[in-house]
Structure 1
Amino acid sequence: MDTRLPFVPGILVLLGLVVMSLTLAMGFGAAELGFANIWQCMTNTCERSIYQTILLDVRLPRVLMGFLAGFALAAAGALMQNVTRNPLADPYLFGIVAGAALGATLSGLLPEQFQAFSLPFAAFLGALFAVFIVITVLMHNNWRRIEHLLLAGVAVSFLLSAISSFILYFGEAFAANRVIFWMMGSLARADYQSLSYVAPVVLISCVLALVFSRQLDALLLSDESARTLGVNVDKVRLVALVVCAAMTAVVVSYCGGIAFVGLMIPHIVRPFFGITTAKLLLSAGLIGGCFLVWVDVVARTIVTGQEIPIGVITSVIGSVFFLFLMRRM
């Protein structure tokens, strides 16, 4: 039975879901605010100034960051699975989280006078470093073998994680705890400045992916079939992998490790919107954004007075989903 939805009506429904999720999510938190107060503040008529501070300066950037992070990870996962033709592919296969963790570790343990680079920027450089290692190793050796790409990512991830653990073991306790909490994933650092860094990277990456969407669709058949259609397979695959790496790296840099979003969401979306790149990327991104917004709501409300790292929650959900997926396959 064909369960696919018409693309345009389906996207409109998803956009409505996005607006509803972003609005409702702002009502949850340590301070109890009614949705009437949310509407008043959104129309610049806040009943009390503290409401405006809570909603517009604290919750709104956090909700927007959650949506952007979920969108980027889900879109990158959909792109990665199409490019590698592997349904178990995930944006973290490059060792991006391990590379970002290494950058964050080095940034946090440097002497104060050398900490001109913030933790997010150092984490971004570390994530790109991991991608650079993987691609450099494969460019001159079995670049066309997809399974080698996956194995190289796993190997780099273990290597960089070992280096990070070694540094943290001998490092200062407070700095080590800060890095460890960041590695679990959190939106607590979200503000408008971080949004100004994350949003352009995600937007440009998505535009690039859509520009190459027809060539990427040809890769779904096979490399040989794509070449017969005039597609430069190596160039298109390299562009797609760099796009995935950039989106994942910038999210990890500001939000820490948030696993399994890129694995789960494309599988949930694919039966309803198909496998073509443009449709899958946009629909997976919108649903992934809503998903992470509500995961963050659970993370900051499920335990009174405390916040659970969102990476812990996505890992629990994702591991169960992964085992279910493996059993079906």
Structure 2
Amino acid sequence: MKTKLSTLSASLWLISIVMLSMFLAMGFGTAELGFKELTECLILECERPIYSTILIDIRFPRVLMGFLAGFALAAAGALMQNVTRNPLADPYLFGIVAGAGLGATLSGFLPEEYQMFTLPVAAFLGAMLSVSIVMLVLMHNNWRRIEHLLLAGVAVSFLLSAITSFILYFGEAFASNRVIFWLMGSLSRADYSALQWSFPVIAVCLIVALLFSRQLDALLLSDESAKTLGVNVDRLRLLSLVLCAAMTAVIVSYCGGIGFVGLMIPHIVRPFIGLTTAKLLIGAGIVGGCFLIWIDVFARTIISGQEIPIGVITSVIGSLFFLMLMRKM
């Protein structure tokens, strides 16, 4: 009974933090809106029509997309760390982000009217390409060893990033600059259409991961222990990597490369909620979503009239976190 009450209390706290973060984040931007204007627009009616346009058409989908992106990246990182039993596993370090970025870059040269459909598909195929290369390289080796997996992922990430840079170098200057800024990570393209396409993919991937949460928990012990419990280890691990690739690809296709969220957030959350997959995915996702909301607020308010790519900020924070984690290990 006490456990159920504590779980319910924690859930209410997390939901309250999410709602408060979204509400407050909508007040920051080039045109700052106070608490009074926010309350009037969201509950009653906006005093000025321009306030409605700013909040409902621009900031609200951006805040939702920020939460969704942070949720997906943190959940993907938590899933990868559990399924590989590797504390350094992350979509960014595994090469998935670079692969999805390559696919999205190639899709950017297609006619604009088709990009709504081709962009996520191309990003997913690029993400799966990076996973396939890493698995192929480590097929006859102990791919769960930290140093092997990490080095292969970094090498593939550099390879695919180099191909992306090569393509952009020979592209049209204006289009290449736009893609380069996008690859640094930004929520500036967030709208209701992006939410419409990305939310179902992330929701389905999360539901599938939760349905297999008990089998994934068995992997935390060892492959041999999981096999004795009737778990098809290879199939489950491949399914998990596909889910991570799908969630990462759909975020990269609309938000660009946002690194290290999947590495940091699970490590921050794990001491408080434990190792079990279901709790870790939900907890890391919620914290990751709130984290990215405030990173975006910082990115668009720290310099007046300019917006810093959020991928740059997360990479700086994540790199320092990664070095601290390596030193601790």
Q: Give me the TM-score of the superposition, normalised by structure 2.
A: 0.91
Other structure's SS at 1:165 match: helix
Corresponding letter in the other structure for 2:173: A
The superposition leaves residues 164-215 of structure 1 with CA deviations (integer Å, 9 ceiling, x where unpaired) of 1222222221111111101100000000010001111111111011000000
Q: Does 1:135 align with 2:139?
A: no
1:179 aligns with 2:179: yes
Indicate the residue corresponding to 2:219 in structure 1.
219
Deviations 1:260-310 (A, max 9, x none): 100000000000000100011100000000000000000010000000000
1:7-41, CA deviations, whole angstroms, 9 ceiling, x for partnerless residues? 33222211110010000000111112111111111
Structure-2 change in CA distance of 1:277 and 1:29 (3 Å) = same
Query: Is 1:263 aligned to 2:260, yes or no?
Result: no
- Equivalences for 1:106-255 in 2 at 5 Å? 106-109=106-109, 114-118=111-115, 121-122=118-119, 124-132=121-129, 134-135=131-132, 138=135, 141-142=139-140, 145-147=143-145, 150-255=150-255
- Are the aligned partners of 1:96 and 1:127 in contact in 2 as well (CA < 8 Å)? no
Amino acid at match of 1:261: V
Whole-angstrom CA distance in 1 between matches of 2:34 and 2:131:
49
Distance 1:222 1:13, change over 3 A: same
- Conserved in 1, the CA contact under 8 Å of 2:133 and 2:156? no
Q: Any residues of structure 2 matched to 1:97-108 within 5 Å, and which?
A: 97-108=97-108
Deviation at 1:238, TM superposition (A): 1.3
Deviations 1:100-155, CA, capped at 9 Å, x for gaps? 22223323345xxx455327833641442342453377379348732455554333
**Contact 1:102–1:123 (8 Å) recurs in 2:** no
How far is the alpha carbon of 1:216 from its aligned partner? 0.2
Q: Distance in 2 between matches of 1:176 and 1:34?
A: 38
Where structure 1 has 5 or more consecutive residues not aligned to the other structure, the ranges are: none
Q: Relative to structure 2, which stretch is displaced further, 145-154 or 81-90?
A: 145-154
- Over the aligned positions, Cα root-mean-square deviation in angstroms equals 2.1
Aligned residues: 322
Confirm or deny: 8 A CA contact 1:99 1:126 kept in the other structure.
yes
Q: Is the 8 A contact 1:182 1:255 kept in 2?
A: yes
Distance 2:26 2:124 in 1: 31
CA contact (8 A) 2:205 2:247 kept: yes
Find the residue that maps to 2:47 and give its secondary structure: coil
CA distance in 2, matches of 1:26, 1:46: 14
Deviation at 1:224, TM superposition (A): 0.4
**Greater mean deviation of Cα atoms: 91-100 or 174-183:** 91-100
Q: 1:76 to 1:234 in 2, by over 3 A?
A: same
Identity of aligned residues (%): 69
Q: Please give the per-residue CA displacement for 1:49-97, whole angstroms capped at 9, x wherever unaligned.
A: 1111111011000000000000000011111100010111102244222
Preserved CA contact (<8 Å) 1:73 1:247: yes
Contact preservation (8 Å) 2:184, 2:311: yes
2:303: which partner in 1?
A: 303
The CA distance in 2 between the partners of 1:259 and 1:133, in whole Å, is 16
- Show the counterpart of 2:63: 63
CA–CA distance in 2 between the matches of 1:137 and 1:89? 13
Provide the rounded CA distance (Å) in 1 between the counterparts of 2:280 and 2:87.
13
CA–CA separation in structure 1 for the residues paired with 2:227 and 2:6: 30
Question: Hey, what's the Cα distance between the residues in 1 that align with 2:292 and 2:200?
Answer: 19
Moved over 4 A (4+): 148-152
Q: Structure 2: where are the runs of 5+ without partners?
A: none
Match in the other structure for 1:82: 82
Q: Is the 8 A contact 2:190 2:254 kept in 1?
A: yes
Q: Deviations over 1:294-328 (max 9, x none)?
A: 00000010000000000011111111111111111
C-alpha contact (below 8 Å) 1:300/1:306 kept by paired residues: yes
Matched AA of 1:275:
L
Residue 231 of structure 1: CA displacement? 0.9
Are positions 1:96 and 2:93 aligned together?
no
Taking the aligned partners of 1:44 and 1:242, their CA distance within structure 2 comes to: 44
